[in-house]
């Protein structure tokens, strides 16, 4: 079976991955067939666009998440922090993606 990698990355224009840690402007997900970490015509688009969030901020410690064909996250654990200061009390959550591909959310 050929090696295929699923990439989820921040993208403000839904055309390319942005090399930023700010995920607030939206994201895309695609199968990176040619393994160049960028969306192009040879790749299979899975999610055309995750809309920008309206309230709050999403910041991550990595500018992309890569999963192998077994669903494992390639690289190190990733944390995406959500904060919203508009609530009467600060609202914060962390989305943690382990190397095994498990996703959990904490306060």
Write out pLDDT tens, residues 56-84.
Answer: 888 999 999 999 989 999 888 899 998 88
Q: Is 21 left (phi over 0), alpha (psi -120 to 50) or beta?
A: alpha
Residue 78's CB: how many other CB atoms inside 10 A? 20
Give me the pLDDT at residue 1, please: 46
For residue 92, pLDDT over 70 is answered with yes
Task: Please tell me the pTM assigned to this model.
Answer: 0.84
Q: How confident is the model at residue 55 (pLDDT cuts 50, 70, 90)?
A: confident
Give me the pLDDT at residue 35, please: 86
For residue range 13-27, what is the model confidence (pLDDT) as tens digits? Answer: 989 999 999 999 999
Q: Is 101 left (phi over 0), alpha (psi -120 to 50) or beta?
A: left
């Amino acid at each position: 079976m050929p090696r295929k990698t699923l990439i989820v990355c921040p993208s403000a224009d839904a055309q390319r991955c942005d090399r930023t840690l700010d995920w607030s402007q939206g994201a895309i997900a695609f199968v990176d067939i040619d393994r160049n970490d960028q969306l192009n015509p040879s790749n299979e688009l899975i999610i055309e666009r995750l809309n920008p969030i309206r309230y709050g901020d999403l910041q991550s410690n990595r500018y992309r998440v890569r999963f192998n064909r077994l669903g494992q996250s390639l690289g190190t654990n990733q944390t995406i922090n959500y904060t919203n200061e508009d609530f009467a009390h600060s609202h914060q959550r962390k989305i943690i993606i382990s190397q095994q591909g498990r996703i959990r959310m904490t306060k």
